[in-house]
Amino acid sequence: MLRTLVISPNWIGDAVMAQPLLRRLKEQHPERPIDVVAPGWVAPVWRAMREVDTVLESPFKHGSLQWKERKAFAKMLKARGYADSYVLPNTLKFALIPWLAGIPRRVGYKGEMRYGLVNVMHHDDKAAPRPMAQFYAALADEPVRHLGRPDKLPEPEMVVASEDVNAAVARLGLPAGTYVAFAPGAEFGPAKRWPSSYFAELAQTIRANRPDAQILLLGSPKDRAVCDEITAIVPQAHNLAGSTSLSEAIALISRAAVVVTNDSGLMHIGAALRRPVVAIFGPTDPRHTPPLSELAKVLWLHIECSPCQQRECPLGHQNCMKQILPTDVWQPLQPILAAV
């Protein structure tokens, strides 16, 4: 049986936004299993997608060509028998893999001058870049130079088994109650982070109105310090940053009544799991990478200097985030919490 190969992006949020591509591919060839090559830190995202048959974790280190390792990996892929491949990263190195594996149809964007390696070449309009979900989903169809933005962007979908949720809750020793997930970190940089003191004030407001609420602070080990700042003010909050695997974080988000988040990978996971999401944007553009769900609410002031797309505020004030107050976030949260 011939298979389809998808090579994953390196970012969690991008992997989530690529799910509509897999949905389109499955509609076109329902009989064809889809394998995904992904780095270990992104692999749990793909395992939560119905369309994925097998996730193959890539052994490659960041930045190096590793020619010998790529040839060996491609040899393993060749034995699996692929009809086509979709190279989502724009780098030359990842385009080498399906070419070395002899996969006949190799689809991707122009990227780093990949002519020959990619033989079904798509092009993005730099003057009007496609939103990420549309950017990836377009690879399922024949290339076109100009692609208008649809009235509604495709919405990613992820699923988590109830036993996985129960296992995560049990291992972490979390009490019963209404779970409210906070994602206070942002891998991109500090400019995207809503102030930790604001998260703490919001947590206090939630608990004052819903004493049964369990505030779960989620993130990577890099987010631990930010979450510590919140628990210093609200010691009842559960600082789980760095204490969960990504699979466990996904499971906990699937159980949450609502997710309050910066523009981050966990934001996209919450939307794909069909949880209510309140997403706080500042220096990045929600028109390009929004949380794709009708249950998501985006807060974005779009002040004069935003979006700057910078990791740190170039003006030093971070007004695009600081001027969104805890009361502004509490407003859309009230009806959500009242309904659970």
Query: Could you read off the pLDDT of 17-30 as tens digits, one per residue?
Result: 999 999 999 999 99
CB 45 within 8 A of CB 17: no
In the prediction, which pLDDT does 27 show? Answer: 97
Alpha helices in the chain (DSSP H): 12-17, 19-28, 43-47, 67-80, 92-100, 132-137, 162-172, 196-209, 224-233, 246-255, 265-272, 319-322, 326-338
Lowest mean pLDDT among 60-69, 136-145, 296-305: 60-69
**Cα–Cα distances in Å, from 15 out to 22, 46, 158, 185?**
11, 7, 11, 18
**Cα–Cα distances in Å, from 162 out to 85, 147, 179, 250?**
32, 39, 15, 12
Lowest mean pLDDT among 49-58, 247-256, 308-317, 320-329: 308-317
**Which of the four pLDDT bands, split at 50, 70 and 90, describes residue 187?**
confident
Q: Do domains 3-140 and 162-338 have the same CATH topology?
A: yes
Residue type, 115: Y
What average pLDDT score do residues 143-170 get? 94
Domain boundary assignment for the chain = 3-140, 162-338
What average pLDDT score do residues 187-203 get? 91
Query: Could you read off the pLDDT of 93-131 as tens digits, one per residue?
Result: 999 999 999 999 999 999 877 889 999 999 998 888 899
In the prediction, which pLDDT does 145 show? Answer: 86
Length of the chain: 340
**Cα–Cα distances in Å, from 95 out to 2, 90, 92, 118?**
20, 8, 5, 7
Torsion of CA 328, 331, 332, 334, to 10 degrees: 150
In the prediction, which pLDDT does 295 show? Answer: 95
In the prediction, which pLDDT does 183 show? Answer: 97
CATH topology of domain 162-338: Rossmann fold (3.40.50)
Distance CA 288, CA 220 (A): 24
In the prediction, which pLDDT does 188 show? Answer: 72
pLDDT higher than threshold 90 for residue 312: no
What average pLDDT score do residues 221-239 get? 97
Q: Report whether CATH 3.40.47.10 matches the domain 3-140.
A: no
User: Across-strand partners of 99?
Assistant: none
Sign of CA dihedral 319, 320, 321, 326: positive
